[in-house]
Structure 1
Amino acid sequence: MNSALEILTKYWKHDAFRKPQEAIIASVLEGKDTFALMPTGGGKSICFQVPGMMKEGICLVISPLIALMRDQVQNLQNKGIKAIALTGGIHSDEIIDLLDNCQFGNYKFLYLSPERLQNDWILERIKNLPVNLIAIDEAHCVSQWGHDFRPAYLKIVQLKEYFPKVPFLALTASATPRVKEDIMVQLKLDNPQIFTKSFYRDNIAYMVFETEDKLHLLQQILQKNPQPSIIYVTNRKSCNETVHQLESLGFTATFYHGGLSSKDKEKHMQLWMNEKVQVMVATNAFGMGIDKANVKTIIHLHLPQNLENYYQESGRAGRNGDKAFAVLLNNPSDILHAEAQFISVLPDKKFLNLVFTKLCNYFQIAYGEGIDEQFSFNLNHFCTKYSFPTLKTYNALQFLDRQGIITLSQEFSEKITLQFIIPSKEVIRYMSLNPNDEEILLTMLRTYPGIYDMQTAFNLQLIAKKSNHTENEVLSLLQKLKEKNIIEMMAKSNDATITLNEIREDERTINRVSKYLEAQNKLKTEQLQAVLQYSKDTKSCKNKVLMQYFGESLAADCGICSYCISKNRKKQNPETVSDKIVELLKIQDFNSRDIQKLTKLPKDDVIFALQKLLEDETISINSNNLYSLK
């Protein structure tokens, strides 16, 4: 059998493990239950993929992140490793085929969402697989105190009964001490080996700046640090606006959010990854699986929802070990904005029930029906139809998704319907004259026998896969057929798909999960308070505050955060600062930003001196915010 290092070198082209990857792998290979808390960028997937390759049988990977599952499966397949993902929206017949492949096709990895374990027949099939390791990714989802609790994770412990000798490996990148203990209890880890990598990143300078003019400070930061940067914002509109503002200042930038098509996401990401642009402006949809080593600066333009997300997003900076910056820009109005964005839009039980009922009506689902049905969904259209507030509705749908009642896939899609409008013999004649199109056309006709009779919903991914062509090739052919009046085609854009995971039971469905709603709302309020405390605290090392939140303590201040720099900076004599300002204003009137720039003095010292000079009536300020001597 190849050693762990040989497997790592052969498939992942690395010549050494990062700490504590090797120790975690050794623990798993010894058959021990293992808990690993590894901050973002620590290489969690290696910890189950390497031992999964070393042991006979198949590694079961449970994860709630559909995009990440697909990404990891694709990466494994690219390495010649057989892997499969059971994500939402796959019909029963296809699941049976995939599970047959797992049982008889020598597959090494089976990825599935925890909701899949709630299907008894799927569980029965999994029980018969030669499982060698059960990896639980995003393990904080099993805890009610975690920032993304999903009741479906509570079902994972059932696998202990069916695979008593198979080790559990619980992995998370963000867990407070309370969540860490809860994970081990809920998963019934048996005398687990515990590995916790410190959250402390000695090369990241955590900076918090209060400013009325965020764009100006942004400009200064990006000019001083021209290396790759990510700017996180809270919504799609801010993505576009910020990119336009940066471009007007001469920076190269692109954007990334959940409303982009897969093609555009890939295109924008590659522009940034290949350093054709300096700045990626993104919502928190960006970042999963992104491992760019030389990111210099992460800037949060708005207050984040919680410190777990903030730490993960900030941790994408400085992975090459060079000094990097995690900057949070705020102003007094941001607190009101954050409360409006994250707290006042939390749904209560009554609103949740209303959204679910209207959702079922929207899709025309009868009571007692709907399980496993998939629908294209446009959030704005839904909210407009029922006069629902958008953010509150989105939060209700996210809650239903986490509870496993629905699967909300926030991927831009195009719903295509088409029908052949020429006789079948003419289609056959066309194929004989255009042999390059024959394979795709035959696949379409075999898959949709009623496509001559009526407008038929068309699955682009399925036809591409079955015909061994790319989606673009299939789409190009459809456009050509439409132009030649061979088919009639309609395409409607949607920003999401929704799959119902259980039958419609209205209040009975909501009553079952409402007990979690109140606890989650309370937790989110507490988490935002921790963010506000972090942003407002001017008397503590920023690194110390973060470490304390995650249950660690630093013996000394970090020396590089915004607090440490201000503490260590030599204080200017107020009279000297005032004198410099007066001398400057003898030349002409200036605003505070220009005074700071020309005097090269710290902003706080300049503002303090200006206030003192105004109080002494040495200077005045006019309606254009220009200071002048009296």
Structure 2
Amino acid sequence: MQQALDILKQYWNHDTFREPQDKIIQSVLEGKDTFALMPTGGGKSVCFQVPAMMKEGLCLVISPLIALMKDQVANLEKRNIKAIALTGGIGTDELSDLLDNCKFGNYKFLYLSPERLQADWVIERIKDLPINLVAIDEAHCVSQWGHDFRPAYLQLSALKKHLPHVPFLALTASATERVQKDIISQLGLKNPAIFKKSFARENLAYMVFETEDKLHRIQQILTKNPEPSIIYVRNRKSCHDVSSQLQSLGFKATFYHGGLKEKEKEANMQLWLTEKAQVIVATNAFGMGIDKANVKTVVHIQLPDNLESYYQEAGRAGRSGQKSFGVLLVNQSDIAIGRQQFLEVLPDKKFLKEVYSRLNNFLQIAYGEGMDTTYPFNFNNFCQQYKLPAAKTYNALQFLDRQGILTLSQQFTEKVTIQFVIPSKEVMRYISLNPADEEMLLVILRNYSGIFDMETAMNMSLITNKSKATEEQVMNLLERLAQKEIITLRSSGNDSSITFNEVREDEHTINRVSKFLENQNDIKVHQFEKVVDYVTNTDTCKSRLILEYFDEKSTADCGICSYCISKNRKPVSPIESANAILEILKNGSSNSKELESKLDLTAEETIFALQLLLENDRITMNTNNQYTLK
């Protein structure tokens, strides 16, 4: 393994492997099919990247996550390792050229989505590539019992038959025993070496706190633990709201969600990574590829929809090995809200068919057409036009995305359409009088020949790249030209784009995948009930509940979760609490939350002691709802 260690040091600047990375790498190097279950933060990518670097040829990586593919390619390129990701939206001719590049361009890693393998010609081309290893990331997607089943993954068994002598490495961070067996079966792995890293995180304290004032509890947590923290929320609005509230309380906070432009995402993430912001408030769009070792606390202020996601998100704390906290804040209404948010918005077959049909009509796609075409898409306009419920519609689109029928990409670009309304010779005269605008205008004129005859949609990234200008500079120019009545300009925000991976076939398309929809809905109901059990169970160690969910038996309590602490906590005498409160009130008035925090009491203990003092006429309340000595 010395060569593997040398590569690890040379490219990743690590001196040792984590358990069981070295054993997985050795298995791959011996040419064995391998299954690896490594919970979040375990370093799965190294398990295929290092052996691929040790062998001649190219490693094929199958991943369903475009953002993760791009992130891994960018990280490899930073290390001067040639890698390429063939994501959705690439046409057939360009895809063919890129596959040629893989064959002759000394690439070491080729990242593909599983949907790409549904085209027979792509598999034929891959057979001609010098593949040394096939790594299947997020392998639980191959199992219909997994929490994110994607039928396109089933195509990988055909790939296995075409590459019989190439080792396959299946990797996942979260899979129950049933899902693990299904992965091995569905992929056709031959006598695989199996490696499982325990889901136990000895340094991570799982805490569930019931509180009506979540912001106050967050304030307490962040004050007590000033190290880097993540707060997960359900939606974009909450990102902005909670971040602003924390800033008003004096915390350095930023936010992250899928609706931000790439530059803003990167800027906010860097504020947190460089610790110019203590806390980042985020949706579940945040986290992929993030490996910040010193995250102390991860707080969820709404119920997650499943324990797989919760385990991965909470597990971003404490990767340094230091004690850390995964905190879930709940109140009386959260379970009812959760059922409404997660279960009542699950689409059935009829609704799915309606959304798919109306989506094609909205984008003006004819029956039998649309394959490999990409459209800017404004989700809100779509829902408003057809009076569709937003959450249920989004779930339907996500299901169609997971089935590989379409790819929903949240790029948040603007659709810009222009047409010149003056003759070309007048445009050239304008250029001669305004040389600062020449480069951008010439790029537009060279790339859009019909722009004098009809309204033409602009590819803003093409214009900015070729003219070496920013999008803001290009838009400023177009707006000036519109004001001078040189062009007509229409600009409409589009919060995403949609790529269709199949031709439109309405009934046939939906009937083919609807059998998976009911099964997926049943799984989501089961998963949410397990979340409810995790929150409401007051008789079991929280760490043990998580381990049992993943079919890992544990006989010992963790000793550090909220259950274990409450079980081991000695009850506080009401008289002692009352006397302690009197001592604090000698220095001035306080409210119940301040007293609770200063004395490290539970809410119930604080209220009981205050009632005791009020009944005995030792304290009173002032007009500010504070307690004061009589």
* TM-score of Structure 1 vs Structure 2, range by shorter chain: over 0.9
Q: 1:306 is matched by which residue type in structure 2?
A: N
Q: Does 1:321 align with 2:321?
A: yes
The residue aligned with 2:309 is 309
How far off is 1:431 after superposition? Answer: 7.2
CA contact (8 A) 1:231 1:282 kept: yes
State, as a whole percentage, how many aligned pairs show the same letter.
64
Q: Does 1:343 align with 2:343?
A: yes
The residue aligned with 2:204 is 204
The residue aligned with 2:405 is 405
Classify 1:54/1:328 alpha carbon distance in 2 versus 1 (closer, same or farther; 3 Å).
Answer: same
Matching residue within 470, 474, 494 for 1:473 = 470
Distance of 1:411 and 1:533 partners within structure 2: 37
Distance of 1:154 and 1:586 partners within structure 2: 70
Classify 1:274/1:150 alpha carbon distance in 2 versus 1 (closer, same or farther; 3 Å).
Answer: same
The residue aligned with 1:56 is 56
The residue aligned with 2:145 is 145
Classify 1:357/1:615 alpha carbon distance in 2 versus 1 (closer, same or farther; 3 Å).
Answer: farther
SS in structure 1 of the partner of residue 557 of structure 2 = coil
| Alignment of structure 1 residues 27-426 onto 2, 5 Å | 27-421=27-421, 423-424=423-424
Equivalent pairs, count: 627
CA distances 1:35-72 after superposition (whole Å, capped 9, x unpaired): 11111111111111122222222111111100111111
Distance of 2:367 and 2:419 partners within structure 1: 31
CA distances 1:567-618 after superposition (whole Å, capped 9, x unpaired): 2222222444456668989999975324424655333423455678899999
CA distances 1:346-371 after superposition (whole Å, capped 9, x unpaired): 01111111111111111111111111
How far off is 1:560 after superposition? Answer: 1.2
Distance of 1:159 and 1:254 partners within structure 2: 44
| Alignment of structure 1 residues 568-583 onto 2, 5 Å | 568-577=568-577
How far off is 1:318 after superposition? Answer: 1.3
How far off is 1:491 after superposition? Answer: 3.1
More displaced, 134-143 or 455-464? 455-464
SS in structure 2 of the partner of residue 3 of structure 1 = helix
How far off is 1:16 after superposition? Answer: 2.2
CA distances 1:365-411 after superposition (whole Å, capped 9, x unpaired): 11111111211111111111111111010001000111111111123
More displaced, 424-433 or 354-363? 424-433
CA distances 1:277-297 after superposition (whole Å, capped 9, x unpaired): 111001000011111111111
Distance of 2:439 and 2:400 partners within structure 1: 41
CA contact (8 A) 1:558 1:564 kept: yes
The residue aligned with 1:23 is 23
More displaced, 14-23 or 58-67? 14-23
Distance of 1:623 and 1:177 partners within structure 2: 59
CA contact (8 A) 1:133 1:167 kept: yes
Q: 2:473 is matched by which residue type in structure 1?
A: S
Q: 2:378 is matched by which residue type in structure 1?
A: N
SS in structure 1 of the partner of residue 470 of structure 2 = helix
More displaced, 480-489 or 148-157? 480-489
Distance of 1:184 and 1:306 partners within structure 2: 23
Classify 1:613/1:395 alpha carbon distance in 2 versus 1 (closer, same or farther; 3 Å).
Answer: farther
The residue aligned with 2:545 is 545
Q: 1:278 is matched by which residue type in structure 2?
A: Q
Classify 1:202/1:442 alpha carbon distance in 2 versus 1 (closer, same or farther; 3 Å).
Answer: same
Classify 1:2/1:326 alpha carbon distance in 2 versus 1 (closer, same or farther; 3 Å).
Answer: closer
How far off is 1:127 after superposition? Answer: 2.1
How far off is 1:418 after superposition? Answer: 3.1
Distance of 2:132 and 2:393 partners within structure 1: 41
SS in structure 2 of the partner of residue 515 of structure 1 = helix
Classify 1:93/1:458 alpha carbon distance in 2 versus 1 (closer, same or farther; 3 Å).
Answer: farther
Classify 1:86/1:247 alpha carbon distance in 2 versus 1 (closer, same or farther; 3 Å).
Answer: same
Distance of 1:481 and 1:344 partners within structure 2: 45
More displaced, 171-180 or 479-488? 479-488
Distance of 2:580 and 2:66 partners within structure 1: 59
Distance of 1:74 and 1:583 partners within structure 2: 59
Classify 1:613/1:341 alpha carbon distance in 2 versus 1 (closer, same or farther; 3 Å).
Answer: farther
Q: 1:267 is matched by which residue type in structure 2?
A: A
Distance of 2:268 and 2:35 partners within structure 1: 36
CA contact (8 A) 2:63 2:136 kept: yes
Q: 1:209 is matched by which residue type in structure 2?
A: F
Distance of 2:254 and 2:174 partners within structure 1: 28
CA contact (8 A) 1:136 1:170 kept: yes
SS in structure 1 of the partner of residue 361 of structure 2 = helix
How far off is 1:299 after superposition? Answer: 0.3
More displaced, 176-185 or 553-562? 553-562
CA contact (8 A) 1:86 1:95 kept: yes
Distance of 2:552 and 2:268 partners within structure 1: 37
SS in structure 1 of the partner of residue 291 of structure 2 = coil
Classify 1:616/1:525 alpha carbon distance in 2 versus 1 (closer, same or farther; 3 Å).
Answer: farther
CA contact (8 A) 2:205 2:324 kept: yes
SS in structure 1 of the partner of residue 418 of structure 2 = strand
Q: 1:528 is matched by which residue type in structure 2?
A: F
CA distances 1:469-512 after superposition (whole Å, capped 9, x unpaired): 76x53652453365355655443221111111111111221111
Distance of 2:180 and 2:144 partners within structure 1: 11
Distance of 1:176 and 1:332 partners within structure 2: 30
How far off is 1:203 after superposition? Answer: 1.3
Distance of 1:317 and 1:586 partners within structure 2: 40
Q: Does 1:603 align with 2:603?
A: yes
The residue aligned with 1:527 is 527
Q: 1:483 is matched by which residue type in structure 2?
A: R
User: TM-score scaled by structure 1?
Assistant: 0.92
How far off is 1:100 after superposition? Answer: 1.5
More displaced, 324-333 or 112-121? 112-121
How far off is 1:243 after superposition? Answer: 1.1
Distance of 1:435 and 1:587 partners within structure 2: 72
Unaligned segments of structure 1, at least 5 residues: none
SS in structure 1 of the partner of residue 201 of structure 2 = coil
Classify 1:153/1:248 alpha carbon distance in 2 versus 1 (closer, same or farther; 3 Å).
Answer: same
Classify 1:531/1:265 alpha carbon distance in 2 versus 1 (closer, same or farther; 3 Å).
Answer: same
CA contact (8 A) 1:482 1:488 kept: no
SS in structure 2 of the partner of residue 347 of structure 1 = coil
Distance of 2:384 and 2:128 partners within structure 1: 48
How far off is 1:555 after superposition? Answer: 3.5
Distance of 1:5 and 1:260 partners within structure 2: 39
CA contact (8 A) 2:478 2:489 kept: no
**How well do the aligned residues superpose, as a CA RMSD in angstroms?**
2.9
Distance of 2:455 and 2:90 partners within structure 1: 22
Classify 1:571/1:100 alpha carbon distance in 2 versus 1 (closer, same or farther; 3 Å).
Answer: same
Classify 1:477/1:574 alpha carbon distance in 2 versus 1 (closer, same or farther; 3 Å).
Answer: closer
